[in-house]
Each structure stands twice: as structure tokens, then as C-alpha cells.
Chains A and B, each alone.
Chain A
Amino acid sequence: MKTSIFLVLLLLPALAMAVSLDGWMDFQTGGDSLSPEMGRLDLGGLLKGGNWSLVIHERYSHEDSTGILPRILNSYSRTDVDFLIEAGPVRINPDVCWTVDLGDNKPEMVLPGQAGVAYREGFIRPGLSLEVDIAENYHLFARGLYWNRDLKQEDGYDLAWTESRVSGGLSCETPGLTLSMSGLWHKTNSDLIDYESTWSRFDIALSTKPQSLPANFYVTGDVTYSFYGGTNYLGDDLADRFTSRIRFVRMIVPSLAVNTTFESVIDYDGVIRSACNSVESRIVYRFMRSRDITSSVVLFGKLSRSSIRTERAGVFSRINLYRGLSLLLEAEARVTPTSVAGAGPNRKRYVFGPGLEYQFGTTARIWGMFEQERTNLEKNQNWWRVRAGLEFYPGSFSF
């Protein structure tokens, strides 16, 4: 009772202050020669007061599978409610997220320990975060999450599948350097199939962002060593992991910027092994900057080698034609592993397509793309796809 009265007293002054309301909507739909239905609607709202904010995000997603590609097999809604209150150096952030399966075909989940298959019907996940600035440069954070999943076996029995995740840590920030130490503990439990798994991680991370570099040149670097506890699905101990990443951003001229990231990961489980190396680069060229809509060409490429091979390269351009009207053009080539039976270890796909976009200032954006995709699965497949979307941001209202 005393706690409730204290919370009401804490919230009342905050709620009495002027508040602002922001809302947004993003709707995307499409269809292709394989799947006639694809759609996603995101609705969001932000209510913000002096020292508090409330975000509600609602998503409806529906995509269909033709059986050729292992795409999304589900229709679902997801709701995120996120409340944040700041009291001096303390930030308290309770949130809750839940999903509800809306389709007739429930997505399958392969249960651990050869316990068969279950069907996902949604989950509810409450969470609580706490952040405290304990000194000028020291920052303390903690987060707790709990999932209660609706997983049903074929005979209708609920698996009573729950997950708990607790994390926390301390970071120390100086103008060019950040040191952080954090820990994470995760437990998965299902009473019906008598499954319990716990794993943990402790990270020591150092990141740097040099303050005095040549003009228009930015470098960030970070290294993290993660100590893991627990086992993987085979029962083998999880290997410790050392991750290093360095990013260079160079604005060559005001209209041309290059962003390149190198990343390297080493695993250690008694044996040091190179686990993953990747390089990613993005070149952005902006032109016709005097118009309402700046035209741009983005060239991107990425290469990674781990136990698998992934490659990605492409171009995306937006050429302003008249007022808010722009011509879109995309071309992309990708190599990834594939789970399609008989399609070989790697799947190569090429996507090309033009489109049109119209921007109504900062209030709304409507766009459409017509794409052609070619991919090598059991055999070379070609299909077309039409995508369209509407983004709407009515602005901010204060009352």
C-alpha cells in the first residue's frame, strides 16, 4: 500500500506537466509471382511529458509461403508498450511486449532434446530496466526480461515454456574512450518436456572514438571479450569470444562519403580459432542538393567468412525528378547459405528493379517498386515482385 501511494505521488507531478503526442504509420504491401499476399502495418505513438514518455508500437504482419522458399509462414500481431520515467540520475523503464498468432497455420518449433514439434501461438514478455548515472562518467544499468510462450504440442498440451533473462553492468565514459563490464544470465525452462537450459555471458568491452582527427574523418573501434558459460544444443561448452571491430568514415567532399568497417572474431574453447572475418563498405554520393529532395546513389558491399560464406553487393539510387517525385532504382547480388532442400550449400540471388516515390514534405511518403529476382535453388528460378508502401508522420501535437 505504501509503495502504491509512493508511486502515485511520484507520477502525479510528472503527469500534470504539458505533454506532446507523436504518431506514425508505416504500411507496406506487395505480392509476387510466388506468393500473392505480403503485408505489414506498423502503427506507433509517443506520448512525452517532462520527465516521462510512453511508446506504444503495434505491428500486424502477414506473409505467405509457397513451399519453395522458407519464408515467413505466419500472420501475427505484435504490441510493444514502453514506459520510461526519469528522476534525476535514475531512469526506470518498465515495458511489455506480446505477440498473437493470427494465421490458421501455426509456425512450427522443433523442440530440443528430440522432444518433437510444437506450434507457436504467441508470447507475452514483461521487462524492467533500470539505469543510474552514479557519477559524471559512470553509468550503471540492469535489465530483467521474462517470456511466457504459448507453445502447444500436436495433442494440445501447453509446454509451459518460459525464459528469464537478467543482465546488468557498469560503464565508464571519457571523451574518447568507453570501458564497460556487463553480465547476462539466461534460463529456458519447459516443465512438460522436462527441459532446462541455462547459459551466461560476461563481457569486458573497450571502445574508442578519437576526438582529434583530420577534418571530416571519423574512426571508431571496439574490442570485446565475452566469457561464456553453458552449453550449446549438442551439449558442448560455449566458447569464449573475442570480437574486434574498427570503422572508418571519411567525407571526401561534402557530397561523397565512404564508410568502411572491418570485423574479426576469435573463439576460444581450449583452442584458438578464427571464427569470423568480415568487411563492409558503403559509398554515398549525394547530388542535386538544392532541390527539396536530395538525390543520392548508395553503393554497398559486404563480405564475410565464418563457418558460412555471405556476400552482398548492390546499388540503390534515388533521383529526384520533379518536386517530391523521385525515381528509385535498386540492384543487388547476394550469396547466402540456403535451407532449401537440394539447392546446394550456397544460394545466389540477383534482384533488379525500378520504382517511383513521392514525398509530401516530411508528412508522408508513398512509394512503389517493381522487382525481378533470379535465384539458383533446385534450378534457376525467376520471379517478379511488386512492393509498395506508405509512411505517414502527421507531426507533433502539444497539449
Chain B
Amino acid sequence: MTRFVKALAAIAVVFILFVACKGPVESTQLLINADDCTGCGECMEVCPYNAVEIIDGDAVIDPSLCHFCYRCVEQCPEGAIY
């Protein structure tokens, strides 16, 4: 089991590094890192499209309303949106 997990981790690292070196990078949705998000709600307040909501202490983006204005990215004090 441990060997399997180690192998899985190694594959994941190689995969991520491989993908990281590939371009171009083009995102269809913004990403929120729930580990970094403190749920302060500043992203929700600055979003002019009502696309951000705080649910269970974490920011959540509605992909049908987000217009990629990036105000939440600029505002987030933790740098949790990218």
C-alpha cells in the first residue's frame, strides 16, 4: 500500500511538473484555494456580477455569472483566487 501511494505521489509530481512546463495556459474558470481562503468575504463585496458567495466559510464562484474582471483576485488579502 505504501509503495503504491509513493508511486502515485511520484507520478503526480512528474505529471504536475510536466503539465506546468506545457503552454499556453488558458483557464475557463477562476480557482479558489480553500486552504488559503479565510472566508472574509471581501471578494463577494467587490464582485460587480454577484458571482462570489461565501458558503460554509469559503468563497465559491458561480461559473455562469463570473465575467473574469479579476477584482476578487486583486482584492483577496490571502491571494487565494487565481
Contacts and interface: CB of A to CB of B under 8 A. Distances in A.
Interface of A: 59, 61, 70-74, 76, 78, 107-110, 112, 120, 145, 147, 149, 151, 165, 176, 186, 188, 197, 199, 208, 210-213, 219, 221, 223, 228, 230-233, 238-239, 241, 243-244, 246, 261-267, 269, 273-280, 302, 304-308, 310, 312, 334, 336-339, 347
11 contacts: A73-B46, A109-B48, A199-B64, A221-B8, A246-B13, A246-B16, A261-B35, A276-B27, A277-B20, A277-B25, A336-B79
**Which label, helix, strand, loop or mixed, suits the secondary structure of the A interface?**
strand
Q: Which 5 A-B pairs have the closest CB atoms?
A: A306-B27, A304-B82, A337-B70, A277-B20, A210-B5
Interface in B38-61: 41-42, 45-46, 48-50, 53, 55
A197 B36 CA distance: 29
Given A74-B45, A112-B65, A219 B26 contact: no
Contact of B79 (A199, A213, A269, A310): A310
B27 A312 contact: no
B64 A274 contact: no
Contacts of A310: 73, 79, 82
B8 to A, nearest CB: 6
B74 A109 contact: no
A276 B50 contact: no
A221 B46 contact: no
A74 B48 CA distance: 12
A273 to B, nearest CB: 5
Interface centre among A59, A210, A219, A239, by most chain B C-beta atoms within 10 angstroms, is A210
B21 to A, nearest CB: 9
Contacts, number: 178
* Number of chain B interface residues as a range: 35 or more
A210 B12 contact: no
Interface string B65-82: 111111101110001001
A307 B63 contact: no
B72 to A, nearest CB: 10
A285 to B, nearest CB: 20
A308 B23 CA distance: 13
A73 B44 CA distance: 11
B16 A277 contact: yes
Contact of A264 (B1, B19, B30, B73): B19
Contact of B67 (A208, A233, A241, A275): A233
Contacts of B1: 176
Nearest to B50: A109
A347 B74 contact: yes
B70 A276 contact: no
